Amino acid sequence: MSKAASVRERGIYVLPSMFTTGGLFAGFYALIAAVQGRFELAAWALIVAAVFDMLDGRVARLLHAESEFGAQYDSLCDMLSFGIAPAVLVYLWALVPLHKPGWLAAFLVAACAALRLARFNVQLDVQDKRFFSGLPTPAAAMLIATAVLFHEDHGVQPLPWLWFAIAVALAGLMVSRVPFFAGKDVDLKRKRPAVLLLAMLALIVFVMADPHTHLFVLALAYCLHGPLLALRQWRRGKPREEDQPEADEEAAAPD
């Protein structure tokens, strides 16, 4: 192997890594803002981090610039932006009055985010690109961030025990096997019907009409669609009740 080839192997793809670093910066800024009590600013910073997280993977795939380094770097940055930062935010914003149960619930969010990211890394080559197995860490962080925006905009105080339950539920969903739509199989380089562009424009108008409320609605809908999809799959795989007695009778009948 030539020296030039060896140098290329040791190098990194700069553009995707820049987007990943931008997400890391936004996540770190969200953490600092949360500690300072600037919860709305922290929520917006988490949303910016999620945008960068979405773009770095897309850019890497479009440029065929995917690498093992990029995957590991992205995962480490995600741990801060979508594990530590939202856990600290939800604790300082809603769970402080609960004292020990509050910070334990926040820790559970951070710990399950780490487990979710580790499992994602080791199953990267075998997972179905259409669905995530378990709630993605950015989606859990987005529910927390958009909830902060919703409450701040409407002047509503968060209910500590409700958010204790929500934090535990988010942690459980992250390490579960519940399927969530991924959208990674959508090829942006291929021609698509014009109605898709209209749908995207309609979504932008919907969000911009009331960002503090509609972003929360979208984040909540995404977090709920996974359990509903799992329930639907379970019901499809469950044997019909009218078929069960016949099977029992056949099994009990003498030869």
SS (H, E, C) 122-191: HCCCCCCCCEEECCCHHHHHHHHHHHHHHHHHHCCCCCHHHHHHHHHHHHHHHCCCCEEECCCCCCCCCC
Identify any residues that bridge with 179 across adjacent strands, giving them in sequence order. 133
Query: pLDDT digits over 84-138, tens only?
Result: 999 999 999 999 999 999 999 999 999 999 999 998 888 766 666 677 888 999 9
Identify any residues that bridge with 132 across adjacent strands, giving them in sequence order. 180
Residue found under tokens 């961030």: 145
CA–CA distance, 204 with 207 (Å, rounded to integer): 5
Q: Is a pLDDT exceeding 90 seen at residue 241? A: no
- pTM for the whole structure: 0.83
Q: How crowded is residue 214: how many other Cβ atoms within 10 Å of its Cβ?
A: 17
pLDDT score recorded for residue 253: 46
Query: pLDDT digits over 53-88, tens only?
Result: 988 877 777 777 777 888 888 889 999 999 999 999
Q: Is a pLDDT exceeding 70 seen at residue 191? A: no
Q: Is a pLDDT exceeding 60 seen at residue 255? A: no
The mean pLDDT value for 163-172 works out to: 96
**Topology (CATH) of 12-237:** Four Helix Bundle (Hemerythrin (Met), subunit A) (1.20.120)
User: 167 versus 209: which is more confidently predicted?
Assistant: 167
pLDDT score recorded for residue 10: 62
The mean pLDDT value for 215-235 works out to: 90
pLDDT score recorded for residue 204: 87
Provide the residue ranges of all domains of the chain, joining segments of one domain with +. Answer: 12-237
Check: CB of residue 78 under 8 Å from CB of residue 186: no
Residues with Cβ < 8 Å from 201, sequence gap 6 or more?
Answer: none
